Amino acid sequence: MKPSFLKKEILKEPDKADSIKAWFWTEKGLYLLDQRKLPLEEKYIFCDNLNKIRTAIKEMVVRGAPAIGICSAIGFVIEFKNFLSSLKSEEILIHKVEEEIGKISNLLVTARPTAINLSWAVSRMRKISLNFLEKFKEKINKSELKQLEELLEKEALKIWKEDIEANLAIADYGKDILPEGGILTHCNTGALATGGYGTALGIIRKFYEKNKKIKIFVDETRPFLQGARLTAWELYKLKIPYTLISDNAAGFLMKKGEISAVIVGADRIAKNGDTANKIGTYSLAVLAKFHNIPFYVAAPSSTFDLSIEKGEKIPIEIRPSKEVLTCHKSKIAPSKAKAYNIAFDITPNELISAIITEKGIIYPPYEENIPKFITP
């Protein structure tokens, strides 16, 4: 549903957008649903420049690997537009435009380090810009730059649309792989974390439509509570029943036979299948292995980083300790307590039963099979 303040605006969005809207892109800028406030408040934050969008990504107003990739591409367009309107003369030196493209790209890719989708999307935008600029010698005029702006806008929409299509294909492949019974998911991988529909949560959505004989377990995902606040909110909006559990409950539920599969998303997948995802994913994979339960990863091809051989090379984000020391702004530890907020972990490939992508389901041995599906 469109919020009432946007009723009259021209919205830029691909065809198959989801009913759950993590953002709206209009002529004026980007309206981001503030995910820090969900599920208590459904409020949009307005971003009309790069700094605002970068800060929103850094502070997790918008989060989830594919979502921050798409929002970076949109941020790229918005800032390029601002640059164009700031130009005083009719012509500008090419190297000045290149400098601006470099600045925009750097600021966006450094907003968060672990999800590869961010630099993947920004490098697509950068490539469009540099290929276009190559056609000119020393100078370029405003109307030519306007053409580049249009190309950039098209590319950002394409990145968004491709992600939705990838999610729908992932859901189609994944719906046939899940067993009946209890399905546990971690963090949030739904429409809020992607261009729409979701990856792991998309599969759960599709599987539920096909076969109601499942019990969806959502873990809280401390400290940011993506499970309790975001996945639970999405399932509630979709009218899909779920049961929330504390992060600590997973092992014992597996022992009791209440969980028949675990499915999660990914922030970066190395060439050998090692997977970076929200902290706590590794623990679930170890527990699943111990209890002989399949452990699945669902991700679009934009999440693979074939330049990284193994998971240990993936940069892991360390976030502010206050996220661990508080819960919804209330202090939960003594005043001078110290905390270590390691935001992601790496699940080694041997703990992963299959990786579900839009190109098909990849099974081990991953070193051999990933290149058959994912090309650089």
Q: Which residues lie near ligand MRU (CB under 6 A)? A: 63-66, 115, 187, 189, 193-194, 199, 226, 265-267, 277-278, 343
Q: How far apart are CA 126 and CA 140, in angstroms?
A: 17
CA gap 85, 120 in Å, rounded: 27
Nearer to ligand MRU among residue 119 and residue 226 (C-beta): 226
The closest of 289, 21, 271 to 160, measured between CA atoms, is: 21
Beta carbon nearer to ligand MRU, 66 or 174 = 66
* Strand pairing class (181-185; 214-219): parallel
Tokens of 111: 């907003």
Q: Which is nearer to ligand MRU, 81 or 206 (CB)?
A: 206
Q: Is residue 63 marked as binding?
A: yes
**278 belongs to an annotated ligand binding site:** yes
H/E element, 269 = strand 268-270
| Shortest distance, position 185 Cβ to ligand MRU, whole Å | 9
Query: How far is it, in rounded angstroms, from Cα 343 to Cα 248?
Result: 17
- What does 287-315 look like in DSSP terms, one character per residue? HHHHTT--EEEE--GGGEETT-SSGGGS-
What is the bridge-based pairing of β-strands 275-278 and 268-270?
Answer: antiparallel
Smallest distance from ligand MRU to CB 189, Å = 4
Q: What are the tokens at 80?
A: 């390029």
For ligand MRU, the closer of residues 129 and 277 by Cβ is 277
CA distance 312 to 355: 19
On whether 2 is known to bind a ligand per the annotation, the reply is no
Q: Which residue, 101 or 273, is less far from ligand MRU as judged by CB?
A: 273
Which regions of 109-156 does DSSP assign to beta strands (E)? Answer: 139-141
DSSP 8-state code for residue 229:
I
Closer to ligand MRU by Cβ: residue 92 or 361:
361
Q: Please report, as a single letter, which amino acid is at residue 323.
A: E
Ligand-binding annotation for 54, yes or no, is: no
Give the separation between CA 6 and CA 144, rounded to whole angstroms.
31
| DSSP notation for 98-111 | HHHHHHHHHHHHTS
| Structural contact between residues 231 and 245, judged by C-beta atoms closer than 8 angstroms | no
Rg of the chain taking only CA atoms, in angstroms: 21
280 is in an annotated binding site: no
Find the catalytic residue in 18, 219, 247, 267: 267
267 annotated active-site = yes
In the complex, least distance from residue 64 CB atom to ligand MRU, rounded to whole angstroms: 4
Q: Is 360 annotated as a binding residue?
A: no
Determine which helix (DSSP H) or strand (DSSP E) holds 32, and give its type and residue range. strand 30-33
Residue 222 annotated in ligand binding: no
Query: What token pair was written down for 19?
Result: 């009913």
Phi/psi-derived region of residue 197, left when phi > 0, alpha when psi is between -120 and 50, beta in every other case:
left
- The nearest distance, CB 338 to ligand MRU, in angstroms, is 21
Closest CB to ligand MRU among 258 and 317?
Answer: 317
Strands 91-93 and 139-141, by their bridges, are antiparallel
Binding residues: 63-65, 112, 226, 277-278
Catalytic site residues? 267
Binding residues for substrate: 63-65, 112, 226, 277-278
